[in-house]
Amino acid sequence: MINQLPRWVWTGAWALAFFAGIVNVVGLLGFEHQAITHLTGTTSLLGAALGTSRGAHALHLLAVIVSFVAGTALSGFIIQDSILKLGHSYGLALALESTLLALAVPLLNHQSHLGDYFASCACGLQNAMATTYSGSVVRTTHVSGMFTDLGIFIGHRLRGLPVNTRRLSLCLIIISGFLCGGIVGAYFLKHTPTLPFSSRPLAPGSRLSLTAFINGGTTRASAPKRRDDARAPLG
């Protein structure tokens, strides 16, 4: 599967992970200190809120989860399959993600929970889009799976077993993109005090998420296909 991915997809994966890192830092350093791009911690917090009878907080956390799932459902509805066939469906998905992030900015600036929900929906849409796009090889809004694969590769190497170096490279690309996004997001939050809190790193991300990946992707999609694997099923 991983060997079928065109090289430019790797650049897109880094860009998407980078913007996810920005979004998550904004959530973690924001007024609710809420992780946005993944749901493991949010689900644990939901269980803790239910176990300690904090109903209002539990409803908020449930809304974050539902928003993320709604984004993944929207992605599945738009893209529909796991065939590598770029075109307007991916452009539409990224345009919707960009719009959702742009809507989240003023809401987060006014400390509205709706900002968390819009951002979570955007991340769900992105994660499912990248998963669909690459046949469940790439997920760009969290890195637990990437670190898991990295550890497995280290174990295989220590055991003397062969390692898929292309998949290893993809793991490192996504991890580095997510980390760099976190660094950039935190830097702008700290060093641009004249701008509203969340708009410093998140508003540019909402615009650039639309252009960093899809501009190159749609032009390649319209170009003549020279390799059969460009349309191969990846799932």
Q: How many whole angstroms separate alpha carbon 203 and alpha carbon 208?
A: 9
Render pLDDT for 130-143 as a digit per residue (tens, 0 to 9). 765 555 467 888 89
Q: Backbone phi, then psi, for 233, in 5-degree steps? A: -65, 135
Per-residue pLDDT at 85: 59
Domain extent listing, the chain: 14-220
Q: How many whole angstroms separate alpha carbon 146 and alpha carbon 32?
A: 27
Q: Which amino acid is at 22?
A: I
The pLDDT tens digits along the chain (235 residues) read 555 667 777 788 888 899 899 888 888 887 678 888 889 889 999 999 999 999 999 999 999 999 999 999 998 898 876 555 566 777 788 888 888 988 888 888 788 889 899 999 999 998 887 765 555 467 888 898 889 989 999 999 999 999 888 888 888 999 999 999 999 888 887 776 544 544 555 554 444 444 434 343 433 433 334 343 333 333 3
| Cα 100 → chain centroid | 13
Per-residue pLDDT at 29: 81
CB 135 within 8 A of CB 85: no
Does domain 14-220 sit in CATH 3.30.300?
Answer: no
pTM of the predicted protein model: 0.76
Per-residue pLDDT at 227: 40
Question: ∠ CA 69-85-5 to the nearest 5 degrees?
Answer: 90
| Cα 83 → chain centroid | 20
Look at the block and give the residue holding tokens 């959530």: 27
Per-residue pLDDT at 165: 84
